[in-house]
Structure 1
C-alpha cells in the first residue's frame, strides 16, 4: 500500500510561480498532491513588462502531470491585489493551506547610486508583498486553526552582497516577518519558515560578472537548478514538518543548512558604566574577536556545490 502524497487535499498559493524557483516549487507541490494557485504577473527580473504566458506555461506543466492549478495575475505589492490572490484559492478550490512567498524582482545598484525607485520597487515586491499575501491568508488560517507559510529569503540579507542594499534589506526583513508570524500564530497551529535558495534563474542571469570572483560565483550558481529548492518547500508545507517553525534554512544544490539567528555572542560589563575611552581601551579589545567579518555570500559559501 502506497503512502498518500505529502500534500494530498491541500491548496497552495505560490507567488512568482511563472518561472525559476517559483515554478519549480509550484510543480513539486502539485506533484505532491496540492492544488496550486500560480500567482504571477509575468514581468522581467527587473519588474518590467507583464504577461500571463509564464504562469500559463506553469499551469500546463502541472496539468500535464495530472495536477490541478489556476492562474492569478494579481500583483503581490498591493494589499487589495494580495487579497484577491487569496480569494482565488477559495474561488477555485474552496480552501487554502499553504502560502509560498517567492515573488521578487532585482534592481541592483551600488548603494550611493541606488535610486529611491530602485529601493521602493524591490522592497514593495519582496517585503511588502510577503506581508500582504501572508496577512490576507492569516485571517483564514486563524479560523481553520492550521496553515503553513514558506517565505523566500536570501543570503544577500543573511550574509551580504555588493550592490544589493534594497534586496538585502527586504530579504532580511522577511526573516523578521517569518519569525513574527511563527510567534504570533503558533497558538493557531500555523507555522512559518524562511528559505534562502541558491539557483541559476532569470534573475541570477541578469547579474553582470565584472571580476574574477564574480565569474567564479556565476559558475557555481550555474550548477544549481531551481528544482533543487523544491523538496524542502514541500516538506515545510506538509504535516511532516508540524514541529518546525520560526526557522531559517539555506539550500545549495544537495546541501541543506539551518542558519543561525541573531543571539548574543559575547558581552562586557563594568559597574561604573563606560566612557568612550574605556570602550576603546577595554571593551572593544575584549569584544573584537567576536565581531562579524564584512563578508559577502560567496565568501561564506566558498566551496563547490555538492
Structure 2
C-alpha cells in the first residue's frame, strides 16, 4: 500500500478512542501496519474491555489496511515489553511508537488523594517510560546487529504540562514529566537512528469534554470542527514518517489547523557578581531580573 508511512510498523497506545483512534486510522490510511493498543478502561482508569481496540482494528481492516489489537497495560513494565514483542512478532519489526494512553482524576492540590495521584502518574508518565524503554532496546539491538534504523517516538504531553492547569495538579505534573523524558530520550537515542518528539494537543476527547465542556462543544453542522481529534493526527503521522528524521527533541502544540513550536525553558536575564550573595542583597537583584524577563504565560484556569 502506498502512502507517507507505507510499510512502517506503528504502535499507538490508548488507540481505542479519541486521539489514539484518530492517529491509528490516519497511520493506516498512509500505509502503515498498526498495533492498536488499548485496555478499554473507563476515563478514571477503572475496568477494561477488548471492545474499543477491536472496533478500531475492524475499521482499519475494512478499509483494506493492516492492524492488530493489543490489550497490554502500558504502565506495567512487563506488559510494555509484551506490547513491543507483539508488534515485532506480528510484523517483523517496530518503526514508530506513539504514546497516547492516559487517564484523568482531577483534584485541587489541597484535595489530592494519594491513590489518585499515583494512578495518574502511573498511566501517563510510567506508561510513556515503559514503552519507550522497550522500544529503545529493540532499536538498539537492531542497530548493533548492523540493521539500519530510522525510528520515531511521538509522546503526548499537554498544554497543562507546558503551562499548568488549575485542578489538574497530578495530570499537569505527569505531562510536564513527559516533556523532560522526551528531551532526554531524544539526546540518548539519536545515536541509534531514533527521533523523539512530543505534541501538546487540544482536541475533543473523553478527558477534555469533561474538563473543558464549553470549549469542546461541537460546532454547527458544516462548520470547521477545530476540536476534532482528527486535526491532530496529520502532524503525528508526519513525525512518524521517514521525512521527519531531522526533527527531534521538539514539542509542538497542535489544534484545529494550528501548529505551534513550543519554546520551552530557556535561560533569561542573569547576573553574576563572582561571589556568594547575602539574602539581604537579593531584595534589589531579583526584582530587576524579573523586570527584564518575559512574563510567564498564565496557568490554564487561573
TM-score by length of 1: 0.90
Map 1:190-201 onto structure 2 (within 5 A). 190-201=194-205
The change in CA–CA distance for 1:259 and 1:208 in structure 2 (over 3 A counts) is: closer
SS in 2 for 1:206: helix
Write the deviation string for residues 170-205 of structure 1: whole angstroms up to 9, x where unpaired.
111111111111101111111000001110111112
Determine if the alignment matches structure 1 residue 56 to structure 2 residue 66.
no
Which stretch shifts more, 100-109 or 198-207? Answer: 198-207
Report the alpha carbon displacement of residue 269 of structure 1 after superposing the two structures with TM.
2.0
Q: What secondary structure sits across from 1:256 in the alignment?
A: strand
Where do 5+ consecutive residues of structure 1 fail to align? 210-214, 300-306
2:250 counterpart (247, 252, 255): 247
Q: For the residues of structure 1 that align with 2:291 and 2:45, how far apart are their CA atoms?
A: 42
Name the TM-score, length of structure 2 as normaliser: 0.91
Identify the residue that residue 21 of structure 1 maps to in structure 2: 19
**Structure 1 residue 218: Cα displacement:** 4.0
Task: Tell me the CA shift for residue 298 of structure 1.
Answer: 6.7
Residues 203 and 216 in structure 2, CA contact (< 8 A), matched pair in contact too? no
Aligned mate of 2:190, from 180, 186, 191? 186
Partner of 1:225: 228
Task: Name the structure 2 match of 1:120.
Answer: 118
- Decide whether aligned partners of structure 1 residues 298 and 237 sit closer, same or farther in structure 2, where only a CA change above 3 A counts: farther
1:288 Cα deviation (Å)? 3.4
Partner of residue 179 from structure 2, selected from 146, 169, 175? 175
Q: What residue in structure 1 maps to residue 69 of structure 2?
A: 71
- Residue equivalent to 1:92: 90
Cα distance, 1:269–1:284 mapped onto 2, change above 3 Å: farther
Q: Which residue of 2 aligns with 1:304?
A: none
- Match among 203, 206, 221 for residue 202 of structure 1: 206
Could you tell me which residue of structure 1 aligns to residue 238 of structure 2? Answer: 235
Cα deviation for residue 206 of structure 1 reads: 2.3
Q: 1:262-289 deviations in whole A, cap 9, x for unaligned?
A: 1101102223432222110233233334
Q: Which secondary structure does the structure 2 equivalent of 1:106 belong to?
A: coil
Q: CA deviation at 1:9?
A: 1.1
1:152 corresponds to which residue? 156
- Shift in CA distance, 110/140, structure 1 to aligned 2, threshold 3 Å: same
How many pairs align? 291
Contact persistence 1:14–1:100 (CA under 8 A)? yes
CA offsets per residue over residues 17-63 of structure 1, 9 Å max, x none?
00000000000001111111111000111111211111111111111
* Aligned equivalent of 2:146: none
